[in-house]
Amino acid sequence: MDVITWTGELACHLQAALRMGRDEFAGRLGVHPQTVAAWHSRPGIVPRPDMQAALDTVYEKAQPPVRLRFARLAQPPEGTAVQALRVAIAVVLRGAEVLLVQRRDGGDLHWQFPAGVVKPGADTAAVAVAETRAETGVHCTVREPLGSRVHPTTGVQADYVLCEHLMGEPSNLDPAENAAAIFVPIASLTRFIPADRIFRPVLDALGVSAA
């Protein structure tokens, strides 16, 4: 079996390879058509784990011609270097508050910072700003990079950037993937995300104890 980390773009390529319309593809996956529409509008999004599993199942059951069409659609343009999956993670400050989104993982919910996939050649800072706006409606600007790591849960390369709020109240603009988007007091951050799951430079930048 091929190991695929699905993004909105790859999911759309699978839909095209199957030659299905939005509603038919959504029915095959057992999701709402709005979810498929979100993948088309936000190709850099990484679907939640239960969606990853559903896409795996549809791909695994596909006939060889479908897989061949998918491979051709998903192949990077000639001359484009292949890179490991990379995500930009935005740590957005508004005074003494930080922005979080509540991610849906199957039947579970957990809090995280806004994030999006960085395509080859794309700028991490630009992706962090754009994905924050797409997920929450919050406009921000990048203050400084906070470093990178291989994320201990997802295994992807994660680039962290510290951002400053410019305008906008948070709203959940991605209900297919998230359940909520809110600013929380920095002093209460570890009530939402355990300290041992937060990148140490993020804790240091926010002045939060790792203890």
- The reply to whether 79 falls in a domain is no
pLDDT tens, position by position, 54-65: 999 999 998 888
- The reply to whether 211 falls in a domain is no
The span from the CA of 31 to the CA of 5, in Å, is 18
At 1 the pLDDT is 45
Q: Residue 200 pLDDT more than 70?
A: yes
The span from the CA of 27 to the CA of 20, in Å, is 10
Tell me the whole-structure pTM to 2 decimals.
0.69
At 151 the pLDDT is 80
Please name which of 142, 86, 74, 146 lies closest in space to residue 119, comparing C-alpha atoms: 86
pLDDT tens, position by position, 115-152: 988 887 889 999 999 999 999 999 999 999 999 998 87
167: domain CATH number?
A: 3.90.79.10
pLDDT tens, position by position, 154-187: 778 899 999 999 999 999 998 878 899 999 999 9
- The reply to whether 3 falls in a domain is no
Q: Residue 2 pLDDT more than 60?
A: no
- The reply to whether 109 falls in a domain is yes
87 touches 159 (CB < 8 A): yes
Please name which of 163, 105, 170 lies closest in space to residue 135, comparing C-alpha atoms: 170
Q: Residue 107 pLDDT more than 70?
A: no
Q: Which carries the bigger pLDDT value, residue 183 or residue 7?
A: 183
181 touches 170 (CB < 8 A): yes
**One domain for residues 110 and 188:** yes
Query: Which residues lie below 8 Å from residue 122, measured CB to CB, with a gap of 6+?
Result: none
**One domain for residues 90 and 68:** no
- Match 């997920």 to its residue by tokens: 135
Three-state SS string over 53-67 comes to HHHHHHHHHCCHHHH
Instruction: For residue 71, count other CB atoms closer than 10 A to its CB.
Output: 12
